[in-house]
């Protein structure tokens, strides 16, 4: 069945080096002044609130930019000779910020923004000579506009990709160029179309052990073609614990307890061993007697990313470590699916409250907690190579045997094995992955043998 062409957009980060970084900073400051101007202008004109972004931009330009007839405008732009595409990039950012404020002002009332610190976006006309190794930007030096050549360091862009408007981002040590890259794919068939074409599927199950995920590849009749375990969970947890110990030692020496007591951090960073099996053994329900505070969020360390905290480099190291392992595992999963000619990746779906309960009990720096990020990365990487990801509810996948369909009678959590009523035994996570894949096939009307 023929399928139309689709695309995906990902952001590439390249290190930028230039002779006058202060010009880039002045350009960003000027950009944010224009953002602030159009932000306030839109909020002061209620008649424009219901317009779309493009129509709002047009009306704001009519209010602030004199036309060919040179007639005075109601709200003239305070700066002269601002490049057209620089002004429009800033105006679009101001419109987006104003619409965000209007959308949430009733539910979350608050003050209007007094200042902006956005990264400057360079539309076409504000850059030239753009390649993987260099770019020439039109920048503001405080007095006039100048063209400045910059060197770029990073991965090369795909040959058939389309480069969208880049933005200059100031990080702690480096200046980075963020480039949205639009890549076209040849396969955008829906899940139903892929099932009609009898394509293979790969069902995944995530764990809180040394194995990040288990995958089972099934054909359209439910016959297993391949199995794969993606390890590294213990290594990831160990490296996270080493960094957390350094943070705790440093904070004790400084007498700094912003992040809470040591015992609280231990609960956040180390999984509660008796709870390691809850995510799979009880399928989609907490254990009897378990209590989940409805107001407590699973990621209790979200407030640990504040910039005014000591040991910021350690916290950033944790963030980068999680990104590295999530990218590595997700890339290996997608590569394996390509080798097995998989058309659909099936992910388990759990009840929201149950997911929060499990994430809290397993700790913020365990393999299972990283599964949220792995799932996100698998979805966009798979789409880029023509594979679709879907979610299937996981209720019941660990309570029956994938071989005979009989109930599971016992589970050895230490060995991660199950035994069913007919005596079949094996890895309990692989058993759940197999059942998840077959459950997906049945939902799409396939006869599973």
- Confirm whether 273 is domain-assigned: yes
In 3D space, the residue among 348, 208, 363, 358 whose CA is nearest the CA of residue 290 turns out to be 358
- Confirm whether 102 is domain-assigned: yes
Query: Global pTM?
Result: 0.75
Regarding whether 195 and 181 lie in a shared domain, the answer is: no
State what percent of residues in the chain have pLDDT above 90: 63
Regarding whether 207 and 114 lie in a shared domain, the answer is: no
- Confirm whether 1 is domain-assigned: no
By CB neighbour count within 10 A (0-12 exposed, 13-18 middle, 19+ buried), where does 413 fall? Answer: middle
The pLDDT, as a whole number, for residue 306 is 42
Regarding whether 329 and 278 lie in a shared domain, the answer is: yes
Regarding whether 204 and 77 lie in a shared domain, the answer is: no
DSSP reduced 3-state for 320: helix
Q: What is the pLDDT of residues 246-277, one digit of tens each?
A: 999 988 887 765 444 444 444 444 443 433 33
- Confirm whether 357 is domain-assigned: yes
Regarding whether 288 and 422 lie in a shared domain, the answer is: yes
Regarding whether 133 and 212 lie in a shared domain, the answer is: no
Domain range for 346: 191-443
How many folded domains does the chain comprise?
A: 3
- Name the domain boundary from 74, 103, 120: 120
By CB neighbour count within 10 A (0-12 exposed, 13-18 middle, 19+ buried), where does 165 fall? Answer: middle
In 3D space, the residue among 142, 49, 276 whose CA is nearest the CA of residue 60 turns out to be 49
- Confirm whether 220 is domain-assigned: yes
Regarding whether 110 and 165 lie in a shared domain, the answer is: no
- Confirm whether 258 is domain-assigned: yes
Q: How high does pLDDT run on average in the chain? A: 85
Regarding whether 290 and 308 lie in a shared domain, the answer is: yes
- Confirm whether 206 is domain-assigned: yes
Residue 346 sits in a domain of what CATH number? Answer: 3.30.420.140
Cβ 188 vs Cβ 4: under 8 Å: yes
Regarding whether 81 and 166 lie in a shared domain, the answer is: no
Cβ 430 vs Cβ 437: under 8 Å: no
Cβ 392 vs Cβ 439: under 8 Å: yes
Q: Mind listing the pLDDT tens digit of every residue in the chain (449 residues)?
A: 445 678 889 999 999 999 999 999 999 999 999 999 999 999 999 999 999 999 999 999 999 999 888 888 999 999 988 999 999 999 999 999 999 999 988 788 878 899 999 999 999 999 999 999 999 999 999 999 999 999 999 999 988 889 999 999 998 889 999 999 998 877 888 889 898 899 999 999 999 999 999 999 999 999 999 999 999 999 999 999 999 999 999 888 877 654 444 444 444 444 434 333 333 333 443 333 333 333 333 333 334 344 456 788 899 899 999 999 999 999 999 999 999 999 999 999 988 877 777 777 787 888 988 999 999 999 999 998 889 999 999 988 999 999 988 999 999 988 889 999 988 999 999 999 999 999 999 998 877 76
R_g of the chain computed on alpha carbons: 27
β-pair type (175-185, 6-17):
antiparallel
Tokens linked to 288: 């009897």
- Give phi and psi for 188, each to the nearest 5: -120, 25
- Name the domain boundary from 149, 165, 185: 185
Regarding whether 159 and 241 lie in a shared domain, the answer is: no
Q: What is the pLDDT of residues 54-99, one digit of tens each?
A: 999 999 999 999 988 888 899 999 998 899 999 999 999 999 999 9
What is the crossing angle of helices 371-384 and 312-339, to 10°? 50
- Confirm whether 448 is domain-assigned: no
Regarding whether 370 and 290 lie in a shared domain, the answer is: yes
Q: How far apart are CA 69 and CA 374, in angstroms?
A: 57
Regarding whether 222 and 351 lie in a shared domain, the answer is: yes
- Name the domain boundary from 168, 185, 202: 185
């Amino acid at each position: 069945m023929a399928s139309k062409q689709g695309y995906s957009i990902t952001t590439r980060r390249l290190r930028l080096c230039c002779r006058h970084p202060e010009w880039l900073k002045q350009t960003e400051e000027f950009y944010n002044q224009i953002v602030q101007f159009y932000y306030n202008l839109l909020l002061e004109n209620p008649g424009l609130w219901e317009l779309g972004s493009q129509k709002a931009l047009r009306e704001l330009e009519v209010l602030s930019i004199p036309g060919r007839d040179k007639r005075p405008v109601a709200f003239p732009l305070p700066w002269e000779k601002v490049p057209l595409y620089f002004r429009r990039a800033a105006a679009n950012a101001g419109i987006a910020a104003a619409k965000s404020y209007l959308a949430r002002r009733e539910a979350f009332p608050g003050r209007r923004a007094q200042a902006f610190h956005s990264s400057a976006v360079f539309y076409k006309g504000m850059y030239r000579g753009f390649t993987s190794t260099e770019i020439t930007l039109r920048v503001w030096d405080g007095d006039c506009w100048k063209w400045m050549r910059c060197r770029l360091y990073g991965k090369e862009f795909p040959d058939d990709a389309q480069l969208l408007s880049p933005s200059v981002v100031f990080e702690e040590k480096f200046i980075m160029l963020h480039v949205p890259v639009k890549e076209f794919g040849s396969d955008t068939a829906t899940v139903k179309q892929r099932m009609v074409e009898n394509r293979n599927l790969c069902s995944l199950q995530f764990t809180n052990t040394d194995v990040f995920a288990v995958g089972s590849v099934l054909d359209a009749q439910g016959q297993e073609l391949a199995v794969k375990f993606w390890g590294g969970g213990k290594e990831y947890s160990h490296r996270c614990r080493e960094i957390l110990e350094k943070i705790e030692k440093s904070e004790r020496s400084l007498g700094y307890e912003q992040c809470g007591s040591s015992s609280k951090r231990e609960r956040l960073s180390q999984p509660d061993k008796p709870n390691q099996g809850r995510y799979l053994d009880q399928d989609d329900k907490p254990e009897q007697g378990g209590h989940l505070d409805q107001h407590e969020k699973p990621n209790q360390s979200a407030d640990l990313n504040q910039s005014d905290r000591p040991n910021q480099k350690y916290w950033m190291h944790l963030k980068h470590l999680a990104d590295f392992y999530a990218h590595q595992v997700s890339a290996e999963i997608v590569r394996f699916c390509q080798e097995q000619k998989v058309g659909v990746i099936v992910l388990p779906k759990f009840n929201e409250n149950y997911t929060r309960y499990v994430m809290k009990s397993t700790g913020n720096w365990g393999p299972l907690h990283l599964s949220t990020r792995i799932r996100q990365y698998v979805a966009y990487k798979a789409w880029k190579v023509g594979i679709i990801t879907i979610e299937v509810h996981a209720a019941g996948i660990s309570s029956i045997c994938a071989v005979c369909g009989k109930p599971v009678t016992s589970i050895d959590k230490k060995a991660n094995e199950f035994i069913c009523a007919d005596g079949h035994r094996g890895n309990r996570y692989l058993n759940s992955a197999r059942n998840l894949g077959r459950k997906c096939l049945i939902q799409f009307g396939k006869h599973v043998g």
